[in-house]
């Protein structure tokens, strides 16, 4: 399904990013993986036959460096998966300026800069696909997550805007919107197994999402099976946003 495609995945060493890297590799993609955990990244690259570059995507120079890496390594980039993200709990009274600024820097500004840098490279080689990892909290409000929810809502609008702007250049831009997914990030925010079971029971399908559930949706949007889909927000949330 992705054979012959050159794909870059940010935040590739854990959670949804890790699952996506493995899912893409199973389907024949050639992978460029990035993240801040160089040890885990190098090990994953060796396992998958991929390449890894340790980069902090918040650094303003990171997008140009990553695109130069892709062009030097493979001459093009077909797929960009903007997965890296952070979460702080807190409402408007408890969210600090530092948490707000850091959330927007990682979850929005870095995604914009990397997507902006990818467009010329994709255009030179006939187009491509950008898939942003938003959240169901970008579609509906959540308690105690004001910075995160705002950032993921911004990704929804960034996705729509870039889809409209670059469709005639054969660049498709879509987003997945995961719900509660069983990752280290979720477990660090939940207070034990009992809370995780409560969260699962509240989901219409009756379970937490698995990282591979989201990876499968990302792979679909990246593939030619989704060739007439752009500007879409695909909830992968077990029905949460429907109710």
pLDDT, one tens digit per residue, over 230-242 is 999 999 999 999 9
Residue 217 near residue 83, CB atoms below 8 Å = no
pLDDT of residue 186: 83
- When mean pLDDT is compared across 54-63, 150-159, 194-203, the lowest value belongs to 194-203
The answer to whether residue 189 scores a pLDDT higher than 80 is no
> Rounded to 5 degrees, what are φ and ψ at 170?
65, 35
Residue 158 near residue 112, CB atoms below 8 Å = yes
Q: How many CB atoms lie within 10 A of CB 86?
A: 16
Sheet hosting strand 6-9, strand order edge to edge:
51-54, 30-35, 6-9, 79-82, 128-133, 171-178, 233-236
Candidates 106, 148, 183, 209; catalytic one: 148
Q: How many CB atoms lie within 10 A of CB 196?
A: 16
Give 6-180+211-238's CATH code, choosing from 3.30.200.20, 3.40.50.720, 3.40.50.2000, 3.30.70.260.
3.40.50.720
The answer to whether residue 205 scores a pLDDT higher than 80 is yes
Is 54 annotated as catalytic?
no
Report the alpha-carbon distance of residue 14 to residue 181 in Å, rounded: 12
Domain boundaries, the chain: 6-180+211-238
The answer to whether residue 191 scores a pLDDT higher than 90 is no
| Neighbouring C-alpha atoms within 13 Å toward the C-beta of 120 | 9
């Amino acid at each position: 399904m992705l054979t012959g495609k050159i794909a870059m995945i940010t935040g590739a060493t854990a959670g949804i990013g890790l699952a996506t890297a493995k899912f893409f590799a199973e389907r024949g993609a050639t992978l460029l993986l990035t993240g801040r955990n160089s040890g885990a990244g190098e090990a994953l690259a060796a396992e998958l036959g991929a390449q890894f570059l340790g980069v902090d995507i918040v650094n303003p120079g990171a997008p140009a460096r990553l695109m130069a890496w892709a062009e030097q390594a493979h001459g093009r980039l077909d797929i960009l998966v903007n997965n890296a993200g952070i979460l702080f709990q807190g409402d408007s009274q408890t969210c600090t300026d530092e948490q707000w600024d850091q959330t927007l820097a990682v979850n929005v500004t870095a995604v914009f800069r990397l997507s902006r840098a990818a467009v010329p490279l994709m255009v030179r080689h006939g187009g491509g696909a950008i898939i942003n990892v938003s959240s169901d909290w970008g579609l509906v409000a959540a308690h105690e997550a004001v910075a995160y929810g705002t950032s993921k809502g911004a990704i929804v609008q960034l996705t729509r805007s870039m889809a409209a702007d670059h469709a005639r250049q054969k660049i498709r831009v879509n987003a997945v919107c995961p719900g509660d997914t069983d990752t280290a990030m979720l477990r660090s925010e939940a207070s034990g197994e009992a809370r995780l079971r409560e969260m699962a029971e509240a989901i219409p399908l009756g379970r937490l999402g698995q990282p591979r559930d989201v990876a499968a949706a990302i792979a679909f949007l990246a593939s030619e099976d989704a060739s007439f889909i752009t500007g879409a927000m695909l909830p992968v949330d077990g029905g949460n946003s429907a109710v």
